[in-house]
């Protein structure tokens, strides 16, 4: 059982005010014996209500009492201030009796009880509002997570769908690039649509780029290297990378160049090469 959750439910305030049913009362008593926290909370609620009652139990001023009883059409007279009764000679009149009402104190007590009930009710409403607020915040977090996850999944699905569309195109030619002595385990595949000149690349076993370096793809056209664009390790190993359009290529190669690419390839840093079959 979660003791803190039970305390924050507001049942203890209802118990102190006597608003619980027999089953709830029996459960509160049982739990207070086995859980000191609950017993302490009950005592704290009782002390709080008594202090609250004492705060508002001050005797009102005489002017306030006069106004109050004037509205109620009630005259209250202190015993020592009672006027001396006048004798009336006529037998048709009965003696005037002052109307002193003792329920003034009951009126104040009832007001205190109502204030106490209002206080406890506000505490209970606050606890429920706080719990509801926490639940809403939790649901918002879950909703944000699900939304972000859905966006991520949609992006992956779109990328996969695009990859399948490209690979299923009968005009696409696949060119395998093998690792050279500088990086013998490196692999790459160029997907080239020679009719539309579109070029895509995917790679594997490539080391991470240095901060000031990138990989650059070259197409061998009429015996000369032509820049086909630069790429990074992460994007090339996650999926197809769209490169620059190339036509009439006889081979493709990859070199390590400065960030942003070079005009001419660094032959001593060539890591991949493959011929168009």
Give me the residue spans of the domains in the chain: 1-78+101-168, 172-275
Helix ranges (H only) for 56-195 are: 62-71, 104-168
Angle at 261 between CA 240 and CA 207, to 5 degrees: 55
Alpha-carbon distance of 147 to 140, in angstroms, equals 10
In this predicted structure, what is the pLDDT of residue 74?
Answer: 46
In this predicted structure, what is the pLDDT of residue 88?
Answer: 45
Dihedral, 51, 52, 57, 61 alpha carbons, nearest 10: 120
In this predicted structure, what is the pLDDT of residue 177?
Answer: 97
Q: Which residue has the tokens 């606050």?
A: 126
The encoded tokens of residue 237 equal 């190993």
In this predicted structure, what is the pLDDT of residue 144?
Answer: 78
Angle at 241 between CA 236 and CA 246, to 5 degrees: 125
In this predicted structure, what is the pLDDT of residue 75?
Answer: 45
Q: How many other C-beta atoms lie within 10 A of the C-beta of residue 125? A: 11
In this predicted structure, what is the pLDDT of residue 91?
Answer: 46
State which CATH number among 1.10.10, 1.10.3470, 1.25.40, 2.60.40 fits the domain covering 172-275.
2.60.40
Alpha-carbon distance of 128 to 8, in angstroms, equals 8
Q: Helix or strand or coil: residue 82? A: coil
Does residue 252 contact residue 269 with C-beta atoms inside 8 Å? no
Low-confidence ranges of the chain (pLDDT < 70): 52-121, 126, 130, 133, 152-153, 155-163
Does residue 240 contact residue 165 with C-beta atoms inside 8 Å? no
Alpha-carbon distance of 18 to 20, in angstroms, equals 6
With DSSP H G I counted as helix, E B as strand and the rest as coil, what are the percentages for the chain, rounded to 5? Answer: 50, 20, 30
Alpha-carbon distance of 262 to 117, in angstroms, equals 81
CA-to-CA separations, 160 to 136, 153, 167, in angstroms, rounded? 36, 10, 10
In this predicted structure, what is the pLDDT of residue 55?
Answer: 64
């Amino acid at each position: 059982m979660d003791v803190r959750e039970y305390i924050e439910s507001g049942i203890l305030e209802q118990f102190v005010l006597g608003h619980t049913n027999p089953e709830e009362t029996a459960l509160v008593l049982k739990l207070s014996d086995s859980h000191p926290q609950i017993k302490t909370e009950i005592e704290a609620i009782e002390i709080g209500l008594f202090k609250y009652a004492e705060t508002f139990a001050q005797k009102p001023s005489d002017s306030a009492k006069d106004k109050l009883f004037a509205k109620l059409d009630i005259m209250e007279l202190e015993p020592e201030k009672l006027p001396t009764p006048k004798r009336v000679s006529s037998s048709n009149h009965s003696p005037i009796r002052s109307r002193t009402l003792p329920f003034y104190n009951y009126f104040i007590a009832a007001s205190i009880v109502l204030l106490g009930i209002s206080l406890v009710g506000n505490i209970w409403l606050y606890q429920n509002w706080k719990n509801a607020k926490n639940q809403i915040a939790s649901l918002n977090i879950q909703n944000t997570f699900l939304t972000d996850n859905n966006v991520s999944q949609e992006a992956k699905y779109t990328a996969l769908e695009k990859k399948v569309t490209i690979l299923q195109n009968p005009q696409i030619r696949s060119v395998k690039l093998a690792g050279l002595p500088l990086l013998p385990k490196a692999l790459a595949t160029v997907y080239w649509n020679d009719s539309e000149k579109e070029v895509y690349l995917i790679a594997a076993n490539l080391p991470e780029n240095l901060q000031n370096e990138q990989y650059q793809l070259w197409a061998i056209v009429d015996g000369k290297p032509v820049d086909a664009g630069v790429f990074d390790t992460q994007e090339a190993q996650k999926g197809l990378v769209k490169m620059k359009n190339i036509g009439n290529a006889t081979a493709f190669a990859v070199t390590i160049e400065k960030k942003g690419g070079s005009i001419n390839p660094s032959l001593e840093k060539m890591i991949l090469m493959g011929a168009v079959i």
